[in-house]
Structure 1
Amino acid sequence: MQIFSTFEHSSFLELAIASLEERGVNSHNIFAVPLNTRKSERKIFDTIHYADGVSLIDLAMGLATALSVIGASIGFKLAWGPIYWGLIGAATGFVIGLAIKWGYFKLFKPLKGERSSKPTEVILIVECSGKVAAEVEQILWDHLALGVAIINGEENKKDSS
């Protein structure tokens, strides 16, 4: 059987490996693969093929709507009229909202910590017999595994024969 699990790179991973070796799992049957973190900076603008769920224009559209209503209302008393002042208010609100969101994501969001400050994850693969699989799984969960999956290799070999 193969047991796959993911861990944050921490001392809990080392303790899990040590516990597995104490329970009789050979160190040659334990394989740990650290994952690389993202080196490049996150893109500000989304494309049609990539979207990270962060929107820059939501605040911009809200402010554009609010300032266009205010501009149109005040425009009845001003020289150019409500239509021009509504468009001026919409453009002004959009630019202000876009500047606020862009500044927030460019200046303040990296200070709170992005992916580069998170600890890397490690995939741990354990090859063991079916007798100790439940015990190995429990050890992994006890040492704060992020996820665990068990692949039963013996059943797959019987099905393919």
Structure 2
Amino acid sequence: MQIFATFEHSTNIELAISELEQKGIDDLYAVPLDNRTEERKLFDTIHRSDGVSLSQTGLFLAVIFSTIGASRGFVLDWGPIYWGLIGAFFGFVLGFSFDFFVQKRVRKKQRVLRGKASEVIVIVECEESQKEQVERILWNHFALGVAVTA
């Protein structure tokens, strides 16, 4: 029977492995995962999307600013159509710039501050009778997740 567990990179892994070895379980394998080295792309393609839209706020502000521009355009020289288009352009640029700044600067800092390091996968090969004991040891040492396969 194989038991898989994931841990954050910490001393809890060593404590769990040493306790399992003390219980007579020597068939252990720990694999550290690598961190991503390249930055995420901000602009989506047709084949890949991360669910973050840079144009959503821009389109919202474009509607608001074009409405205001068109209504004020009735008393201004160029008329409501030109002022509506100017307002839409200005609103879209303002919203797009805001979303771009938030995604590029603020979210990047939040990812760095969170400090989530790569995880470690621990694979334990044990007997059916040791399953409960191994699971309890892994959970007691702050495993992020545990899976059992027969």
1:143 to 141, 144, 149: 141
Q: Which residue of 1 aligns with 2:82?
A: 84
**Contact kept? 1:39, 1:116, Cα under 8 Å:** no
d(CA) in 2 for partners of 1:120 and 1:97?
A: 34
RMSD, aligned α-carbons: 1.6
d(CA) in 2 for partners of 1:24 and 1:82?
A: 82
Question: How many residues are treated as equivalent by the alignment?
Answer: 150
d(CA) in 2 for partners of 1:132 and 1:23?
A: 9
**Contact kept? 1:38, 1:115, Cα under 8 Å:** no
Structure 1 residue 50, shift from structure 2 partner = 1.5
1:6 aligns with 2:6: yes
d(CA) in 1 for partners of 2:17 and 2:113?
A: 26
Give, as a single letter, the amino acid of the residue that structure 1 aligns with 2:48.
Y
Is the alpha carbon distance of 1:12 and 1:24 closer, same or farther for their aligned partners in structure 2, counting shifts above 3 Å? same
Give, as a single letter, the amino acid of the residue that structure 1 aligns with 2:68.
I
**Contact kept? 1:6, 1:148, Cα under 8 Å:** yes
Q: Which residue of 2 aligns with 1:158?
A: none
Q: Secondary structure at the match of 2:129?
A: coil
Q: Which residue of 1 aligns with 2:18?
A: 18
Q: Secondary structure at the match of 1:46?
A: coil
**Contact kept? 1:38, 1:116, Cα under 8 Å:** no
> Structure 2: which 5+ residue stretches go unaligned?
none
Q: Secondary structure at the match of 1:45?
A: coil
**1:67-105 C-alpha deviation (Å, 9 max, x unpaired):** 011101101101111111111100110011111111122
Structure 1 residue 116, shift from structure 2 partner = 9.4
Q: How does 1:7-156 map to 2 (within 5 A)?
A: 7-26=7-26, 29-114=27-112, 117-152=115-150
**Contact kept? 1:7, 1:123, Cα under 8 Å:** yes
Give, as a single letter, the amino acid of the residue that structure 2 aligns with 1:102.
F
Structure 1 residue 15, shift from structure 2 partner = 1.3
Q: Secondary structure at the match of 2:147?
A: strand
Give, as a single letter, the amino acid of the residue that structure 2 aligns with 1:11.
T
